[in-house]
A and B are shown apart, each in its own frame.
Chain A
Amino acid sequence: MLTSELKPAEEILENLAQGERVFLVACAGCAEVCDAGGEEALRRLRKLLEEGGRTVVGGTSLPFLCNRALVSLRLGRCAQQLKEADSILVTSCGVGIQAVAAVSALVVHTASNTTTMGAFQGVWPSDERCARCGDCVLEYTGGICPLTVCPKGLLHGPCGGSHGGECELEPGRSCGWQEIHDRLEQTGQREMLHRYQPPKDRRRQLDVPLARRRSVFWALEYAEEDE
């Protein structure tokens, strides 16, 4: 069980151009349980976008977006609708968003923040892909998480140790910011590389958020352990 939440409406709309044709993807796994996924999230996002002057060309709710192979397969079935789309808007944990970006050449927008992975480990290795920072920046980094893909968690491009597309830490390890750069070039979003990202609010990373501690699911998990 992990916790994700929809980003504020203004933040979601800010990143979608007027008239942008958007395909929606919502996770029907953990995200649905915390109201950030499933059919209900699809409905809310569709309403938000349409009222905001964006076009929704379609949408799908997939079980466990963290399963990259499954995402590839299921999105393949939506090929017709995806052809009409300028971009994909995803609500899921950070792993699911990256799974969609990894299997699609379209711009992937981020509709949610991930605050904890809790006990759930995901199907596509999750600890190494989502830092559950609670302030998702995948929107600006081509759907590749700079906090997990760069050992320094840099937010503004590669450090001086990046060379030949490789990280300074070990030979053979690719430079995360080279990957992000190449992806943003490929999706025509070069301007993202000139965008200033303010320092992160680290509080969101430090502890299990109160919202989760107070949730029914938290109580249920601990009730089980007591029995």
Chain B
Amino acid sequence: MKLRERIERGEFIVTCEAAPPKGIAVEKALEEAQSVADYVHAFNVTDLQSSVMRMSSWAFCALLRGRGLEPILQLTCRDRNRLALQADLLGAWGLGIENVLALTGDHTTLGDHPEAMPVFDLDSVQLLDVIGKLNSGHDMVGNELDGATDFFPGAVVNPAADPLEPHIHKLHLKVSLGAKFFQTQAVYDPESYNVFAEKTAGIGVPILAGIIPLKSAKMARFMNDNIAGVHVPEEVIGELEAATSKEDRVKRSIDLCARTIQAVRPRCQGVHLMPMGWERHVPAILERAGL
């Protein structure tokens, strides 16, 4: 069954991030995705995540489809103007890609080609509008297309944003421009997630809560210092620091993820896992969480 149908039927969804290779090591990246395929409904293929140059998102989406896996095309406004965005969307549809996640994109200066020209001709809200127009059989300026797409568009939100209000306003705009689901930035503090969930209770669009397993206390601190909008509370870092061995640390990390999932489960319609190389622990996380 397709992601769209599962979401519309109200099923609890599990999505997982799959980064295209930095290079041409396609097999390795596909194997990683394949290894968790039994636990996951669809794979988010990142679009030059953190502005680091990699294989194109649409190409890796097509490769995943070749393995019988369902991709979600992440599409940012950072590297393409409105012509290229529409062209890539039509190309993606031609390759059988039906799910699109509309994103602004990290700034170019944060990545591995900081000298690059940032584009941002459109923003994520306008991109959702463009997807809606392609779905109606027209390009964004109203020219008729030879056949309409039928994309299932999604968007992102950071439930831990502080102050939260401006992000809630933007979420409402995204809903009004056609977002059918939301995937969130990593959640580590169920209490702050609940505040967010209360404020978005009436939007009528399902939210998949983001989960990033913490490989170590060092990684947690690094994310706190370097990834905007991610905040790992000190108690969580303390639990990892108290580990007595490498095995114990992995166990604690899996346990933390499972507890977070259980805590947010009543207030979301799924989880979005970003394993960052820990694909092998995805089954354990989901099993511990009771999914």
**Quick check: which of B5-13, B116-124, B251-259, B271-279 contacts chain A, the rest being far away?**
B116-124
- Give B217 Cβ to nearest chain A Cβ, in Å: 21
Identify 5 new A-B residue pairs, CB closer than 8 A, beyond the known A151-B109, A169-B107, A196-B129.
A152-B77, A152-B104, A163-B229, A196-B177, A199-B126
Q: Shortest distance in angstroms between B205's beta carbon and chain A's nearest beta carbon?
A: 16
**Nearest CB on B from A127, distance (A):** 17
A194 to chain B minimum Cβ distance, whole angstroms, is 6
Instruction: Among B78, B123, B156, B161, find the residue whose CB has the most chain A CB atoms closer than 10 A.
Output: B123
B162 at the interface (CB under 8 A from A): yes
A136 to chain B, nearest CB (A): 18
- Residue in B121, B129, B229 whose CB lies within 8 Å of A160: B229
Instruction: Indicate which residue in A160, A161, A190, A196 contacts B176 across the interface (CB closer than 8 Å).
Output: A196
Q: Contact at A161–B106, with CB atoms within 8 Å?
A: yes
B144 interface residue, CB < 8 Å from A?
A: no
Kindly report which residue of chain A lies nearest to residue B119, judged by CB atoms.
Answer: A152
Contact check, B123 vs A152: say whether CB atoms are below 8 A apart: yes
Are B228 and A154 within 8 A (Cβ)? Answer: no
Interface residues on B, range: 35 or more
Residue in contact with A194 in the complex, picked from B82, B172, B229, CB distance below 8 Å: B172
Task: Decide: B161 and A181 in contact? CB cutoff 8 A.
Answer: no
The residues in B between 92 and 120 inclusive whose CB is less than 8 angstroms from any CB of A are 104-107, 109-110, 118, 120
The complex places the Cα of A199 from the Cα of B130 at a distance, in Å, of: 10
Give chain A's interface residue range (CB within 8 Å of chain B): 20 to 34
Chain A, Cβ-Cβ closest to B141? A199
Tell me, in angstroms, the Cα distance from A161 to B120 when the chains sit together: 15
Complex partner residue of B162 from A151, A153, A163, A199, CB under 8 angstroms? A163
Contact between B118 and A158, CB atoms less than 8 A apart: no
Contact A193 B107 (CB under 8 A): no
A162-B161, A163-B162 known; A168-B107 Cβ under 8 A? yes
